[in-house]
Amino acid sequence: MILTLAVVAVGLTLPLISQTLEVSLIGVGLLLTALVVVVPRWPRGDIGHRLMIWVMRIATAAELAVLTFSPQVRHMSIGHGPSTYVFWVGIVVIAMLALVLIDVPGPIGRAAFLALVASYTVLGAWMISQNPHPMIDVFDFQQKGAAALLHGVDPFSLHYKSLYPPGSPLYSPEVQANGFLKFGFPYPPLSLLGILPSYVLFGDHRYAQLAAVALSALLIGHLTPRLISRRAAALLLLTPASFYVLISAWTEPLVALALSAMLFCAVRAPRYLPVALGLLLGMKQYLAPLALLAIPLLRRQRPHGWMRALVVSLAVAALVAVPFVLWDPGGFWQSVVRLQFLQPYRVDSRSFLALLVGKHQPGALQWVAFGLAGGAMLLVLIRGVATPARLAVGVAFVYLAFFAFSKQSFMNYYYFCIAALCAALAIDDASEPADAEQLSRPVPRGPGAQHPAAAPPRR
């Protein structure tokens, strides 16, 4: 229940348009997540489980309302006249599926969940088609990076033409000159490879990110066979920033997919966990600390082979990058590594640092985020992250602590935290009933009778 409130709090950071209020809600989400880290188990029986499902249902309704009426959705050119009906029909269908039908016991509920993911995907594709050329640099980076790779040009050696006026505060002076940016594709190679099929098929890499959101929801919804997993997936799909992240071409949907796949392997297919962890580590620069956070889980699942599993994970992440490093070591270093340290402080960041410093330069305060993230990681490791659910909560807590005090923090980063929180919700409390159908069964009486909540989860 606490994690559900954290998902809603962090998810509201986009629609409110007030930096102070948004950052305050991020702080609420951070504190709620910290509470779960410190007190990992909250006693509840069938009544508590029913209440949690209702809280998640209400949270989904609130997300859907904000998603529908937020200024960002109106700004994303949903059209006028007949085209407007496409959006509203999609929202009505999604509302029926997310608020009512996925709770139906048995095959109907499971089919409704698949229909929910499909409906979201169709509406998301329509939203992308309505916004073919967003004026944001990350869209330009990924489109031209994919095009360069297809033409045999090293994407990490490119020099992009800046979309913004000379001397823009969005980049440091060291990386811009004469209207051009002195760096190439700014994300790890796996991110580029992930969008390449979409660019080839549709000419727009964002359809790959839409597919990543849909696949993330499917994986989270099937982490366990219980209703709570489907409800957690619905929370991720309908988080208010969902369409905004897609239209803006941010890469975090791919990161959310890699995280969901890693947790799915940890729960349902441990044999493939090292490979899935390696793919996650190779998806974006800030994910490197996950190697340390994942060690307790690896040690629990592979007591005598956890070091080998960790080496496999690191090798997978490295092997994807090596060919591009060898292509142009200097260009790769400038674009993927050095650029991250040259990024300037952004006064419009959704972080406590921006609220505290304002238009002044943060100086040494910019390193506070690293200290807080390190402290959060230490606390998480002390409290334990040896289960998939605890690892997901730990990931959300560490990165919320980091982003909430970072010099550059925007909705895309918090979307990753929301995905981690939703995954933690989906996995949590494996001893709970499988779904609403099991909750509705009469409690057995008599000697030797077994309560439904004590029965093993259905597979």
C-alpha span between 373 and 421 (Å, rounded): 17
Longest CA span, the chain: 83
pLDDT at 455 over 60: no
C-alpha span between 322 and 199 (Å, rounded): 23
Phi-psi region of 416 (alpha: psi -120 to 50; beta: other; left: phi over 0): alpha
C-alpha span between 417 and 62 (Å, rounded): 19
pLDDT at 434 over 80: no
pLDDT at 332 over 70: yes
pLDDT digits (tens, 9 = 90+) for 398-424: 999 999 999 988 889 999 999 999 999
pLDDT digits (tens, 9 = 90+) for 238-263: 998 888 899 999 999 999 999 999 99
Predicted pLDDT at 440: 37
Average the pLDDT over 20-26 and give the result: 87
pLDDT digits (tens, 9 = 90+) for 136-165: 999 999 999 999 999 999 999 999 999 888
Q: Please report which confidence band the pLDDT of residue 436 belongs to, taking 50, 70 and 90 as the band edges.
A: very low
pLDDT digits (tens, 9 = 90+) for 159-196: 999 988 888 888 888 999 888 999 999 999 999 999 99
Q: Please report which confidence band the pLDDT of residue 110 belongs to, taking 50, 70 and 90 as the band edges.
A: very high
C-alpha span between 435 and 458 (Å, rounded): 10
Q: What burial letters (b/e) apply to 45-80, b meaning 16+ CB within 10 Å? A: eeeebeebbebbbebbeebbebbbebebbeebebee
pLDDT at 349 over 70: yes
pLDDT at 9 over 80: yes
pLDDT at 290 over 60: yes
- Six-digit token string for 199: 């660019």
**21-35, 249-263, 277-291: least confident range:** 21-35
Task: Read off the amino acid at residue 266.
Answer: A
pLDDT at 19 over 90: no
Q: What burial letters (b/e) apply to 355-371, b meaning 16+ CB within 10 Å? A: eebeeeebeebbebbee
pLDDT at 44 over 60: no
If you count them, how many residues does the chain have? 459
Average the pLDDT over 94-106 and give the result: 90
**195-204, 205-214, 350-359: least confident range:** 350-359
- Of all residues in the chain, what percent carry a pLDDT higher than 70? 88
pLDDT at 438 over 60: no
pLDDT at 45 over 70: no
423 or 9, which is more confident: 423
- Six-digit token string for 70: 């937020």
pLDDT at 391 over 60: yes
Q: Please report which confidence band the pLDDT of residue 450 belongs to, taking 50, 70 and 90 as the band edges.
A: very low
Predicted pLDDT at 239: 92
pLDDT at 43 over 80: no
pLDDT at 432 over 60: no
Q: Please report which confidence band the pLDDT of residue 216 belongs to, taking 50, 70 and 90 as the band edges.
A: very high
C-alpha span between 459 and 454 (Å, rounded): 15
**CA nearest 236: which of 1, 2, 8?**
8
Contacts (Cβ under 8 Å, ≥6 apart) of 18? none
pLDDT at 457 over 60: no
Q: Please report which confidence band the pLDDT of residue 453 belongs to, taking 50, 70 and 90 as the band edges.
A: very low
- Six-digit token string for 58: 């209400």
C-alpha span between 174 and 457 (Å, rounded): 57
Cα 321 → chain centroid: 22
C-alpha span between 261 and 316 (Å, rounded): 15
Average the pLDDT over 221-244 and give the result: 92
222 or 2, which is more confident: 222
Predicted pLDDT at 41: 65
Average the pLDDT over 83-112 and give the result: 88
Predicted pLDDT at 360: 85
- Of all residues in the chain, what percent carry a pLDDT higher than 90? 57
3-state SS of the chain is CHHHHHHHHHHCCCCCCCHHHHHHHHHHHHHHHHHHHHCCCCCCCHHHHHHHHHHHHHHHHHHHHHHHHCHHHHHCCCCCCHHHHHHHHHHHHHHHHHHCHHHCCCHHHHHHHHHHHHHHHHHHHHHHHHCCCCCCHHHHHHHHHHHHHHCCCCHHHCCCECCCCCCCCCCCHHHEECCEECCCCCCCHHHHHHHHHHHHHHCCCHHHHHHHHHHHHHHHHCCCCCHHHHHHHHHHHCCCCHHHHHHCCCCHHHHHHHHHHHHHHHHHCHHHHHHHHHHHHCCCHHHCCHHHHCHHHHHHHCCCCHHHHHHHHHHHHHHHHHHHHHHCHHHHHHHHHHHHHHCCCCCCCCCHHHHHHCCCCCHHHHHHHHHHHHHHHHHHHHHCCCCHHHHHHHHHHHHHHHHCCCCCCCHHHHHHHHHHHHHHHHHCCCCCCCCHHHHHCCCCCCCCCCCHHHCCCCC
pLDDT at 47 over 80: no
For the chain, give the mean pLDDT.
Answer: 86
pLDDT at 42 over 90: no
pLDDT at 17 over 80: no
